[in-house]
Amino acid sequence: MSPSDEPLLPGVDPRAERAPVFCRLCGRPLTGREARTWGLGPECREKLRLRGAPRPRVTEVDQDTLPGV
């Protein structure tokens, strides 16, 4: 038995019929463990990651030299 086949709960067969889980964003059925856990498919997780806040620009800061250096 591989680690992905190990039951999450003792006495529960991971190959037993599971209730379908659908993506919360697009509604497609989810099959992978990670997708079912998140409730989002990999494509939808990527879309949400890209829609995050824009990163601030990197600018150089003018600073005076430290005294004694």
Mean pLDDT along residues 35-57: 83
Q: Across the chain, what does the average pLDDT equal?
A: 79
Cα distance between residue 34 and residue 40, in whole Å: 9
Mean pLDDT along residues 5-24: 71
Mean pLDDT along residues 24-42: 91
pTM for the structure as a whole: 0.48
Mean pLDDT along residues 22-29: 93
Distinct helix (H) and strand (E) counts, the chain: 2, 2
Q: What is the pLDDT of residue 12?
A: 62
